[in-house]
Structure 1
Amino acid sequence: MRMRRTLPTVVALGMIVLTACGGGGGSSNPADDVRPTARTADAGVAGVAGATASPECAARVKTLRMAAVGTLNDVAKSGKAYMEKAHPGLTVELTATAPDYSALVQQISADRSAGRTADVAVAGFDQLPVYARQLGAQVLSPSLLRPTYDQRLLRLGTVDGKLVGIPQQVSTLALVYNLDILQKAGVDPKTLTTTDGVIAAADKIKASGQNVQPIDLPTGQQFGQWVLNTLASSKGTPIQDAAGRPALTTPAAREAAQFLAKVGTYGPQSDDPTQQGLLRFGIRRQVAITAVTVASLAGGLKFIADQGTKGFRAGAIPFPTLPGGSQHPVAGGNALTVLATDRCQQEMATELVVSLLSPDVVAASTEAFSYIPVDSQAISQLGPFYETYPQLKPFLALTGSLVKAPVWTGARGGEVPTALSNQVVRITRGEDPARTLADAQTQAEELNR
């Protein structure tokens, strides 16, 4: 089947779109006025390799239920269309109203209590332990996947050494810059690969008289923890150790905190990466360099290109490493889980999962949200897309080096990411980095008990 290449009429919820002009029409929020991303994330499914359910189960199962977050509605519809065509009489019920992964867990739990269980669910990577230990996520076999699926990513879907989620959409942090501002300041973007290079660039921008803040690293939506962890991970010591304990006072964490403290001296750092970071970098052009997720890039770059002379030249690279470090970026994104317990429901649910990993669906999802593709055949289909957005190509090389995000499993572990992001705010606002990290370590240990 051929992919439908239609454009959405609105920007997907939560996507950071980089523009060069303000919104109009009297909107109270200029971000509400930005328009199309690359395309919708729906596509045809050519087949499911060897994951087809047995004739017995195909005849027996009449309903499959899938739960996803709202931004995955198009992707889920691709699997629904395939399954209902392949199995006449089957109904795939989609629930894709949850605004985020935490809300989705609550929704699935409430539905289970009411006797309405999901067979397939999309889980944020950091939520996978909840799915495995509380929601009954089944152990999955890599042998079900197509040969073109990049199995290096499967480690992102493991809990306690067992594969309970197949990574579907994978993202990480990107450093985005206004090339026009950098060139006027005499900054070569190639120097932004390390934190030392970023600071040197920021000093040049500050001295260039362009009246812009050199750098803004947002801290809201758990970006603070993500930035700190990505930097520490570049030295091989993420902020969570192998035993699941906080590791916030390592030399790498202290070095990362020193960098964040210096960043804070260039001006206020945004709390919200969308509502503030978007406005300051893209619309108001008050900032030269900022951080976004890879999943936001295609839509933003397209919008800038569509502005013509009103736009600006935007570049993007993987988030920098500490000096002497290497790229081991922390992954964000989601995985597909099977929650069905009945054997036949499991077989049909597994077939649905594999359909959602079809190269066409993966390619369409990448064109919509610029996630890092999980399938090599999908990458081969995306040649024109990467020619249009060459800024995205460097992220393809990160697949083998991505690391898992922290999973805080204590009684109040869900509070840790926000708590650590708040500690990063303290650092960027001038508080002593070493003392703040010590406070963060104590707080994280308490919440993670």
Structure 2
Amino acid sequence: MKYRSPALLGAMLLSSGLIACSSSGGSSDDAASGRTVLDVWLMRDSVSDAFQKEFEAGFEKAHPEIDVKIQIQEWDGIGEKVTAALASNDAPDVIEVGNTQVAQYAQSGGLTDFTDKVAELGGDTWLKGLAEPGAYDGKQYGIPYYAANRVVVYRTDLFRKAGVDATTIKTRDQWIAATEKLNRGGTQGIYLPGQNWYALAGFVWDEGGDLAVREGGGWKGGLDSPEALRAMAFYQRLQALGKGPKDSDESQPPQAEVMAKGQIAQIIAAPGGAAVVTQNNPELKGKLGFFPIPGKTADTPGAVFTGGSDLVVPAVAAHQKEALTFLRELTGDTWQKKLALTMSYVPNRTTLAGAVSADPGAAAMAVGAANGHATPNTPQWAAVEAKNPIKDYMTAVLTGRDAGSAAATASRTITTTLNSGS
């Protein structure tokens, strides 16, 4: 799964559909100039036109022997297109993929192993939520590119009216107290739909649990662990402080549109959700702020699901050396800072968080990204999301079913799905 560009952030995309694989186009070297043509696939909204032109010019100035050709790909159907490219004899040299998609491509043996290049590429400071899903069976195939995650988007005017200072909200208990205070002023303290399972996952990680864990040679669903049950209890407590529906997620109805229409003080969303709010209600322009999802203690922000992208190199790519040069440049400090400032992304390493300090939304994301996580690193996780027993479980608890029983049922479904590979 993968976050979109800031203007479109706020929902996770699992691409589907079919696009026929075509030739990478221009993969042969430029014999006349003696330059190596490096074919690169980046995804729609990954970079702006201006950044792409600046990067290409800067890269080729630094490496005149390489002619980099970036082709922008659509997310719709990209999974099938990448799979076909990896199995072909005419694959591009570098491909951007969603961070949690790396495992499914690595499983086929179609990716170049960069384990011995991790230190050279600055892997000691990579964001865990990008680096961990970029690895498979102990080997590093995906190189972290950029990240995005959820924060709390709030109405500054409603907070001020209620006498709540958002900068003081560092812990879950403070968050609950502030939300209760907002409710007393006639405001809906928070709009939290019952099936925002990404938010629940963060609470599970905060408690020390996980959605699924390795057990023996397979996987076991983790929603019925004591840690996950505590997380669901907190989610239930927070959700009860608003009027969000118990049987739908943040996209049904779109929560940013709901916030735009009413006196709603907070939503949990990526910062791009604020743009959707003001688009639907221009009167709220300048009245929205951001803070990281609070953690259990003030010294650690709440855990978040890290969306974003990794860069991979097909094993059959013709220009492995040049591809590594490309990775070194685009994921290095200089271009990561420029990308973060241009696109309001979180840079790929913790040491660069300060690059977005002047962007309130991105700065809040960067704080949370330091405690970022990914979904269980198995190619079969996509099948779990397709069935999504987590959503059914959350609705069951919020509508009165016993949490332990509902969690056990959901965990069994996750276990069966992950171990059947279906």
Q: TM-score range by the shorter chain?
A: 0.7 to 0.9
- The answer to whether residue 211 in structure 2 is matched with residue 260 in structure 1 is no
| SS of residue in 2 equivalent to 1:413 | helix
Deviation at 1:231, TM superposition (A): 0.4
The aligned counterpart of 2:8 is 14
What is the distance in 1 between the residues matched to 2:209 and 2:7? Answer: 33
The aligned counterpart of 1:24 is none
Once the two structures are superposed, residues 55-90 of structure 1 have per-residue CA deviations (whole angstroms, 9 ceiling, x without a partner) of xx9x98744332332121436655544555534673
What is the distance in 1 between the residues matched to 2:73 and 2:312? Answer: 15
| SS of residue in 2 equivalent to 1:245 | strand
CA contact (8 A) 2:93 2:313 kept: yes
Q: Which amino acid aligns with 1:217?
A: L
Change (3 A) 1:434 1:146: closer
The aligned counterpart of 1:442 is 412
The aligned counterpart of 1:424 is 394
- Which of 76, 82, 89 lines up with 1:108 in the alignment? 82
The aligned counterpart of 2:93 is 119
Change (3 A) 1:82 1:186: closer
| SS of residue in 2 equivalent to 1:107 | helix
- Which of 370, 374, 381 lines up with 2:344 in the alignment? 370
Change (3 A) 1:391 1:67: closer
Deviation at 1:415, TM superposition (A): 3.1
- Which of 276, 296, 301 lines up with 2:254 in the alignment? 276
- The answer to whether residue 403 in structure 2 is matched with residue 433 in structure 1 is yes
Deviation at 1:130, TM superposition (A): 1.1
Change (3 A) 1:414 1:252: closer
Deviation at 1:113, TM superposition (A): 5.2
Count of residues in correspondence between the two structures: 383
Structure 2 unmatched ranges of 5 or more: 12-30
CA contact (8 A) 1:120 1:340 kept: no
- Which of 236, 246, 260 lines up with 2:208 in the alignment? 236
Change (3 A) 1:364 1:300: farther
Q: Which amino acid aligns with 1:415?
A: E
CA contact (8 A) 2:89 2:316 kept: no
Once the two structures are superposed, residues 148-193 of structure 1 have per-residue CA deviations (whole angstroms, 9 ceiling, x without a partner) of x834644453222211111111223212221221232343435643
What is the distance in 1 between the residues matched to 2:249 and 2:119? Answer: 43
What is the distance in 2 between the residues matched to 1:214 and 1:298? Answer: 17
The aligned counterpart of 2:120 is 144
CA contact (8 A) 1:123 1:131 kept: no
The aligned counterpart of 2:16 is none
Deviation at 1:131, TM superposition (A): 2.1
- The answer to whether residue 308 in structure 2 is matched with residue 333 in structure 1 is yes
The aligned counterpart of 2:226 is 251
CA contact (8 A) 2:153 2:267 kept: yes
Once the two structures are superposed, residues 313-333 of structure 1 have per-residue CA deviations (whole angstroms, 9 ceiling, x without a partner) of 323222233479944433221
| SS of residue in 2 equivalent to 1:214 | coil
What is the distance in 2 between the residues matched to 1:274 and 1:166? Answer: 34
Q: Map 1:297-446; keep pairs closer than 5 Å.
A: 311-322=285-296, 326-327=300-301, 328-341=303-316, 345-374=319-348, 382=355, 386-387=357-358, 389-390=359-360, 392-393=362-363, 395-398=365-368, 400-410=370-380, 413-415=383-385, 418-446=388-416
What is the distance in 1 between the residues matched to 2:269 and 2:94? Answer: 29
- Which of 71, 89, 110 lines up with 1:94 in the alignment? 71
- Which of 125, 128, 135 lines up with 2:102 in the alignment? 128
What is the distance in 2 between the residues matched to 1:359 and 1:274? Answer: 39
What is the distance in 1 between the residues matched to 2:418 and 2:47? Answer: 33
Q: Map 1:27-176; keep pairs closer than 5 Å.
A: 62-74=36-48, 79-83=55-59, 86-87=63-64, 90=67, 92-99=69-76, 103-112=77-86, 115-134=89-108, 136-140=110-114, 141-145=117-121, 150-151=125-126, 153=128, 154-176=131-153
Change (3 A) 1:310 1:14: closer
What is the distance in 2 between the residues matched to 1:440 and 1:248? Answer: 7
Deviation at 1:115, TM superposition (A): 4.7
Deviation at 1:129, TM superposition (A): 0.7
CA contact (8 A) 1:179 1:313 kept: yes
What is the distance in 2 between the residues matched to 1:412 and 1:93? Answer: 28
Q: Which amino acid aligns with 1:189?
A: A
Quick check: 266-275 or 237-246, which moved more? 266-275
Q: TM-score, normalised by structure 2?
A: 0.75
Change (3 A) 1:364 1:338: same
| SS of residue in 1 equivalent to 2:210 | coil
Quick check: 253-262 or 354-363, which moved more? 354-363
Change (3 A) 1:292 1:273: farther
What is the distance in 2 between the residues matched to 1:400 and 1:264? Answer: 25
Structure 1 unmatched ranges of 5 or more: 1-10, 18-56
CA contact (8 A) 2:147 2:306 kept: yes
- The answer to whether residue 179 in structure 2 is matched with residue 202 in structure 1 is yes
Change (3 A) 1:392 1:88: closer
Q: Which amino acid aligns with 2:136?
A: V
